[in-house]
Amino acid sequence: MKKLIVSTAVATLLLTVPGMAKAEENKEDWDKPVFIKGADLEGQDLQQTEDDLGVKDDYETYSVTTDDVSKYIPNSGNLRYIYSSATIKHKKWGNGVDVEIDTPDNITKVTSEQYQNASITAGIKDAEIHIASVEKVTGEGALAGIYKAYEEKGNELNSEDIQNSNKEMQDLTSISKENQNKDGYSDEALNASIADIKQQLADIKKKQDEQITPQQVEDIVNKVLDERGLSGTLTDNQKQMITDNMTNVANSNALTSDPKAFAKNAKDALKGIEKNSGDLLDKAKDKAKDLNTEENRNFVQKIWDSILQIIQSIIDFITSLFNRIF
């Protein structure tokens, strides 16, 4: 699976009032970059990770343990060791989030785009994030560490938003795996679609006080997947998975508490994906057009006509049989 550097709008977590006060108290500390190291790193492995991430003496350090992963990502499985690590630098409001995997060959499950989308759903913004590992790992330890660091810095995370982000990441990973090497599909098109849907949901919320309806979510999901060439590639079950996740986003604290900031985060994320993956996105759209040609539609129609003819023949036979009997 292709790992990409993506510019995304990720953020300081949406806070409660006490959390905001605490964050203000920690403002000077939060201006320092944070190094989140896998708890099992030591010696040469630790030094290599610090080198990969560009860690300097002024970085504040936190450790992420298996207990932290269980707390923040409970469905991650029974992890015995944590090697994946991360750094976070806080940025000024409105500058979005940059996510870069510095050791892409060693992060086997979570892609840059998935870190990005998970962060937006969880409510993170305005940060520069780097991920690395000296061993081949899923990368979930680093994600748990990012959540932990934000809380340690005085920002209160919404637990339901975190769980929604975890489910979204797992479902997108599943969809990606099921469609690997399938004509008309690309991870880039999927992740661009997710960011696009999030932006449009936030735009709706900016204009209405009422809760976003399930029908509004479904309409946007179907429209975006169609525009980005995935409508005919994904299965009905996969489309429903996306709709369910986007319904969670529509009702999330991250979106409803500040739809303007959420929309900007998603928009910046979409721009980053399009900038880095423009050719792949265009190919997905072109493939969808190829599959939707008049010739292909006629072929499908011929099959359907044949089925109808068979059904009609069976009906005629049964009718004739009854006429003879009665």
Q: How many CA atoms lie within 13 A of 172 on its CB side?
A: 29
- Alpha-carbon gap, residue 283 to 293, rounded angstroms: 16
- Alpha-carbon gap, residue 166 to 34, rounded angstroms: 22
Helices 187-207 and 259-291, axial angle in degrees (round to 10)? 140
Flag whether pLDDT at 17 surpasses 60.
Answer: no
pLDDT at 105: 95
**Predicted TM-score (pTM) of this structure:** 0.76
Flag whether pLDDT at 7 surpasses 50.
Answer: no
According to DSSP, the β-strands at 60-64 and 85-90 are: unpaired
Q: Mean pLDDT across the stretch 6-15?
A: 33
Tell me the domain boundaries of the chain: 6-276, 300-326
- Candidate from 62-66, 122-126, 151-155, 201-205 with smallest mean pLDDT: 151-155
Would you give the distance in Å from CA 63 to the centre of its chain?
Answer: 25
Amino acid (1-letter code) at residue 168: E
pLDDT at 315: 72
- Alpha-carbon gap, residue 222 to 214, rounded angstroms: 12
- In 3D, which of 165, 167, 175 has the Cα closest to residue 233? 175
Question: pLDDT, tens digit, for every residue of 195-209?
Answer: 999 999 999 999 999
Q: How many CA atoms lie within 13 A of 237 on its CB side?
A: 5
- Candidate from 18-22, 49-53, 98-102 with smallest mean pLDDT: 18-22
Q: How many CA atoms lie within 13 A of 168 on its CB side?
A: 32
Question: pLDDT, tens digit, for every residue of 22-41?
Answer: 333 334 446 789 999 999 99
Flag whether pLDDT at 292 surpasses 60.
Answer: no
